[in-house]
Chains A and B, each alone.
Chain A
Amino acid sequence: MGKNLPGYFGEFGGRYSPEILTEALDELESTYQKLKKSKKFKKELEYYLKNYVGRPSPLTYAERLTKLWGGARIWLKREDLNHTGAHKINNAIGQALIARFMGKKRIIAETGAGQHGLATATVGAMFGMETIVYMGAVDVERQNLNAKKIEMLGAKILPVTAGEATLKEATSEAMRDWALNVSTTHYIVGSAIGPHPFPTIVRDFQSFIGTEARAEFKKRNKKLPNAIVACVGGGSNSIGMFHAFLKDKQVAIYGAEAGGLGPKPGEHSATLTYGKTGFLHGTKTLIIQDEFGQIVPAHSVSAGLDYPGVGPEHAHLSQIGRVDYRMVTDEQALDSFLEVTRVEGIIPALETAHAFHVARDVAKDLGKKKDLIICLSGRGDKDVTEVLRLLGERK
């Protein structure tokens, strides 16, 4: 396994997937290593990121939030302005290019919030590849706008009804599809999860977020920010944001995970708070599980955070204490969603709203004349119907 790529992050990571996938994972790893060194691939990736996605995404100074919260200056890394409305497209393009290089004509993906499904359907349309998206039946309902868009783009949605019918089941089903069609198909894993080399590949394609944010902030302020914050589902936007700052010891790093309805098993997706070491979807990581090692269903108001595992690199960063992971409840996320929308004129994704809640506390603790960057991982168009429904329940 990966001599040149880190397959493990501390004790986490590795490859714990069915034997039938091993050859494809080896092929993916060696192809990626080759492409990573190739100037042509780099140029091609940068071409699409610039001209199709709209990178680099801006760093917005959030003046009104800064004033309202009364602490550190707030900056927003605007992944919501990417084509398709979230960071997921960065990874989808990168992996589609790898798939094309490997000669695979069919791509599959799992999706929770629908953003990764949408990103995959989009690159599938652009590159002319047959695209299948696995989506939990529950998520097809609560993220219906994205589900409709995915189909309009010519991809096929296969709703998964097993178990809780959310992201975990969609991921299992995508792995099964891949096992059956491994010679013709590339599985575009949508977060920094899964067997090696996926967590590394996804992180690399998302690291543009942090690299750009760091460079732009430095250029404009002649220093580094004091803190950065991102939301953690599987952990792709966050690891992408964090990576460029890991070595900057003076930058405090915070992850926001879904505290859901409360601390009871089944009511949250707070993997880094309540998870224990285990094996799920091909990787060794922290997982929300019961005393017998059965995976406990996760819950979050945001479909994109509703996953009982987390990328192995986050498990490691949590263990070594480099990142401070905090829980945000459904209610708190909803409040932040409304606040940011009204104050800044930006409707954030419900996933991102979790990061805003943590950021507010951190900003207050830091105090004035300090700086904090929030990764605004996606826009909230997809969540409007769900938010209205939840507000109706509140009354």
Chain B
Amino acid sequence: MSKIKTLFESNRFKSAFIPYFTLGDPNYNDSIEFGKTILDNGADILELGIPFSDPVADGPVIQRAVARSLKNTFSFEEIFRVTKAIHDHKPETPLVYLTYFNPIYHCGISKFLDHAKESGIVGLVIPDLPFDTEESEILFRELKVREMDLIHLVTPASEKKRIQALSKTSSGFIYYVTSFGVTGERREFSVDLKERIKFLKDTIQLPICAGFGISTPEQSNQISLYADGIIIGSAIQRIIEENGSDRTKAVSALAEYISKIRASIS
């Protein structure tokens, strides 16, 4: 059974907290400290971003994080080293990668997955790889033999027929995009969020986690009433952006924020 499936079946929480941050911002060693801090303060699953030069599904905060990260020399070795260090700190917490497809394709799918698995990764989120592509099918098969998950995005614009079709090659959880547009903090979400998530739960036999735009404990609390998990990226990345030049300060700001969100959805 996949590690993510086990986690959700454990009933340890009302709603899972799934934070995201970009590896290498502002440098790879600080990423290790940020990862440890986030794990220590209540992440149930941690999403690590592999930077890609052209992140079309991301808003300004994550775009800037990626740009800062890519000022460092990029290498998969660094990515896997940092991932492993974070994983070793708390091996029971599932780690997943969020990245665009091009770097994975370029690395070579099997080679990438072998290294990722060795470093502690149990799943992938790829915002520009729709499920109905040959590449997605290959990836799903390759992940399955390694007991890893392919986490697909579903959006307020996804049609019902598509959602049904998508469930065949989805595992782990569904990443439900709460609003139109790209990642970034928002004040409001699409009006029928609750109904959409309910429909998804009935259609796909997987946990439904909501992300894109969530930033405050109040929002998390609200959405946790009906979603199986809360995904937060930009708000965390903003803390790193604002405090990143001072590692100690960044670590304590992250600790405070993560524990607050965790408490809001318990």
A180 and B154 CA atoms in complex are apart in Å by 15
A280 and B105 CA atoms in complex are apart in Å by 12
| B155 to A, closest residue via Cβ | A20
Do residues A18 and B57 form an inter-chain contact, with CB atoms below 8 A? yes
Most B CB within 10 A of own CB, among A16, A21, A276, A281: A16
Does B182 touch A at the CB level, under 8 Å?
Answer: yes
Does B177 touch A at the CB level, under 8 Å?
Answer: yes
Does B76 touch A at the CB level, under 8 Å?
Answer: yes
Q: Indicate whether A292 sits within 8 Å of B107 (C-beta atoms), given known contacts A19-B154, A180-B180, A279-B101.
A: yes
Do residues A163 and B53 form an inter-chain contact, with CB atoms below 8 A? yes
Do residues B56 and A17 form an inter-chain contact, with CB atoms below 8 A? yes
Do residues B130 and A293 form an inter-chain contact, with CB atoms below 8 A? no
A93 / chain B contacts, CB cutoff of 8 Å: none
Do residues A293 and B104 form an inter-chain contact, with CB atoms below 8 A? yes
Which of these binds chain B: A39-47, A64-72, A94-102, A171-179?
A171-179
Does A295 touch B at the CB level, under 8 Å?
Answer: yes
| B158 to A, closest residue via Cβ | A19
A280-312 to B contact mask, C-beta < 8 Å, 1/0: 111000010101111100000000000000000
User: For this complex, into which size category does the number of interface residues on chain A fall?
Assistant: 35 or more
A21 and B107 CA atoms in complex are apart in Å by 27
Cβ distance B233 to chain A, nearest Cβ, rounded Å: 15
Cβ distance B133 to chain A, nearest Cβ, rounded Å: 6
Does A73 touch B at the CB level, under 8 Å?
Answer: no
Interface size on B, residues (CB 8 A): 41
Do residues B67 and A163 form an inter-chain contact, with CB atoms below 8 A? yes
Q: Which of B55, B100, B130, B182 contacts A179 (CB 8 A)?
A: B182
Count the A-B residue pairs with Cβ separation under 8 angstroms: how many? 116
Do residues B133 and A182 form an inter-chain contact, with CB atoms below 8 A? no
Do residues B153 and A172 form an inter-chain contact, with CB atoms below 8 A? no
Cβ distance B58 to chain A, nearest Cβ, rounded Å: 8
Do residues A16 and B106 form an inter-chain contact, with CB atoms below 8 A? no
Do residues B158 and A17 form an inter-chain contact, with CB atoms below 8 A? no
Does B129 touch A at the CB level, under 8 Å?
Answer: yes
B104 / chain A contacts, CB cutoff of 8 Å: 293
Q: Which residues of B16-72 have CB atoms within 8 Å of chain A's CB atoms?
A: 52-57, 59, 63, 67, 70
Cβ distance A298 to chain B, nearest Cβ, rounded Å: 12
Q: Which of B63, B74, B153 contacts A294 (CB 8 A)?
A: B74
Cβ distance A11 to chain B, nearest Cβ, rounded Å: 9
Q: Which residues of B138-184 have CB atoms within 8 Å of chain A's CB atoms?
A: 152-159, 162, 177, 180-182
Q: Which of A15, A175, A180, A289 contacts B56 (CB 8 A)?
A: A175
Q: Which residues of A313-345 have CB atoms within 8 Å of chain B's CB atoms?
A: none
A180 / chain B contacts, CB cutoff of 8 Å: 180-182
| B131 to A, closest residue via Cβ | A19
B97-113 to A contact mask, C-beta < 8 Å, 1/0: 00011111111000000
Cβ distance B139 to chain A, nearest Cβ, rounded Å: 12
Cβ distance A163 to chain B, nearest Cβ, rounded Å: 7
A179 and B106 CA atoms in complex are apart in Å by 26
Do residues A295 and B54 form an inter-chain contact, with CB atoms below 8 A? yes
Cβ distance A294 to chain B, nearest Cβ, rounded Å: 5
Does B132 touch A at the CB level, under 8 Å?
Answer: yes
Does B127 touch A at the CB level, under 8 Å?
Answer: yes
A282 / chain B contacts, CB cutoff of 8 Å: 56, 128
Does A255 touch B at the CB level, under 8 Å?
Answer: no
Does A278 touch B at the CB level, under 8 Å?
Answer: yes
Does B75 touch A at the CB level, under 8 Å?
Answer: yes
Most A CB within 10 A of own CB, among B67, B103, B153, B159: B103
A168 and B129 CA atoms in complex are apart in Å by 19
A22 / chain B contacts, CB cutoff of 8 Å: 130, 157-158, 162
A114-139 to B contact mask, C-beta < 8 Å, 1/0: 00000000000000000000000000
Do residues A1 and B63 form an inter-chain contact, with CB atoms below 8 A? no
Do residues A19 and B101 form an inter-chain contact, with CB atoms below 8 A? no
A20 and B128 CA atoms in complex are apart in Å by 10
Do residues B102 and A18 form an inter-chain contact, with CB atoms below 8 A? no
Does A348 touch B at the CB level, under 8 Å?
Answer: no
Q: Which of B53, B57, B127 contacts A295 (CB 8 A)?
A: B53
A21 and B156 CA atoms in complex are apart in Å by 11
| A174 to B, closest residue via Cβ | B56
Do residues A278 and B54 form an inter-chain contact, with CB atoms below 8 A? no
Cβ distance A277 to chain B, nearest Cβ, rounded Å: 8
Cβ distance B130 to chain A, nearest Cβ, rounded Å: 6
Do residues B177 and A294 form an inter-chain contact, with CB atoms below 8 A? no
Does A162 touch B at the CB level, under 8 Å?
Answer: yes
Q: Which residues of B75-132 have CB atoms within 8 Å of chain A's CB atoms?
A: 75-76, 100-107, 127-130, 132
Q: Which of B100, B106, B135, B181 contacts A20 (CB 8 A)?
A: B181
A26 and B130 CA atoms in complex are apart in Å by 13
A17 and B135 CA atoms in complex are apart in Å by 13
Q: Indicate whether A279 sits within 8 Å of B105 (C-beta atoms), given known contacts A20-B181, A162-B67.
A: yes
Cβ distance A390 to chain B, nearest Cβ, rounded Å: 28
Q: Indicate whether A19 sits within 8 Å of B133 (C-beta atoms), given known contacts A163-B53, A180-B180.
A: no
Do residues A168 and B74 form an inter-chain contact, with CB atoms below 8 A? no
A289 and B59 CA atoms in complex are apart in Å by 23
A362 / chain B contacts, CB cutoff of 8 Å: none
Cβ distance B102 to chain A, nearest Cβ, rounded Å: 4
A24 / chain B contacts, CB cutoff of 8 Å: 157
Q: Can you list 28 residue pairs at the A/B interface with Cβ under 8 Å?
A: A16-B101, A16-B130, A16-B133, A17-B56, A17-B128, A18-B56, A18-B153, A19-B154, A20-B157, A20-B180, A20-B181, A22-B130, A22-B158, A24-B157, A26-B159, A172-B54, A176-B181, A180-B180, A183-B180, A287-B102, A289-B106, A292-B75, A293-B105, A293-B107, A294-B70, A294-B74, A294-B103, A295-B53
Measured CB to CB, the residues of A under 8 A from B are: 1, 14-24, 26, 162-163, 168, 172, 175-176, 179-183, 276-282, 287, 289, 291-295
What 10 A-B pairs come out closest when comparing CB atoms? A293-B106, A180-B181, A293-B103, A20-B155, A18-B57, A23-B157, A293-B102, A295-B53, A294-B53, A279-B102
- Known pairs A14-B133, A17-B130, A168-B54. 5 more at Cβ < 8 A? A20-B155, A20-B177, A180-B182, A287-B102, A295-B53
